[in-house]
Amino acid sequence: MYETKYHLKDISKKTFLITGGAGFIGSNIVEYLLKYGAGKVRILDNFSTGSKKNIEGFINNPAFELLEGDIRDLDTCHKALEGVDYVSHQAALGSVPRSINDPITTNEVNITGFLNMLVAARDAKVERFIYAASSSTYGDHPGLPKIEDQIGNPLSPYAVTKYVNELYASVFSKTYDFHTIGLRYFNVFGPRQNPNGAYAAVIPLFIQSAINGEGPVINGDGETSRDFTFVENAVQANIKAMLFNDLFRDEVINIAFGERTTLNQLWDQISKVTATSFKPTYKDERKGDVKHSLANIQKAEILIGYKPLFSIAAGLKIAVDWYTNH
């Protein structure tokens, strides 16, 4: 991956911190930065959802540094930020169902941990703080496509935490002259995304079902739609947000491909890629889920030059190949 270089700056003397760097999106950001010669890439991860398998290919790289720790501990955050120029904060507890089952832990990680990171980054005087925001912030707002300044009421504890992140980032930016950029991800998928466990995302679950010779379980009638976004598009957004010269203020921007796919259409595409023909099983819709999601990505294009290069079809081929061989 990463045949395309997304930045122009010399990063050979820069230090990057990727929180959640052993996770799905975080480890892909790490891979990109190491490939293109970053001076140092430090990750902070407690491995609660991240995996050491995701970073085993980086361990022997002299520019790579692993700090095992928890963002809920402020001292750990200060230690992680020592000498850091740029932060990509990916550490979080994802999943709407997880947050409904355990709102307290989701709050501790996603809000307390986020605030700790903001404080430590402010004190370290980092050049820029990029963080993983979420399309769940749009809540019950019915408009499509989703536009950054038009949000509704949150539909889950997870959505509440991600919205609070945006509020804190904005306050820090205004109060401390501190530059933050939130990337509202829309259903990111691709290599290293965990297909196992109670809170696995839909695409790895569907791919795993196809590989295992089974039909998937679909919550609802399958007409729920999402703007599925291949992980390299998300990596591009992080790199450009960190290194884009002319962005020096608080911003929140949508990161997506800009097309809507239903779950039924998704299974059809995966069936074609894997040459399978199994039928889905339909169950009740999940609490807290948004019915339809589609991003307007013009703001990202204007502010950081974001241009998604991978459609869902292209991304699925890469993802299926990766899961088949892992």
**Residues designated as active site:** 158
CB 187 within 8 A of CB 227: yes
Please give the full DSSP string across 224-261, using - where no structure is assigned.
-EE--EEHHHHHHHHHHHHH-TT--S-EEEEES-S--E
Position 10, amino acid? D
- Evaluate whether 115 touches 91 at the Cβ level (below 8 Å): no
Q: List all residues 6 or more positions away from 101 whose beta carbon is below 8 Å from its beta carbon.
A: none
* Amino acid identity at 12: S
Helices within the chain (DSSP H only): 24-35, 74-80, 96-101, 103-107, 113-124, 157-176, 202-211, 231-243, 263-274, 298-304, 312-324
In the numeric block, which tokens belong to residue 141? 């707002």
Alpha helices (runs of H) in 125-279, residue ranges in sequence order? 157-176, 202-211, 231-243, 263-274
CA distances in angstroms from 321 to 3, 63, 195, 207, 273, listed in the order given: 17, 29, 14, 10, 9
In angstroms, the CA 228 to CA 316 distance is 10
For residue 37 the two structure tokens come to 């010669």
Asked if 25 and 51 count as a contact pair (C-beta separation under 8 A), the reply is: no
CB–CB of 259/297 below 8 Å? no
Q: Are strands 225-226 and 261-262 parallel, antiparallel or unpaired?
A: antiparallel
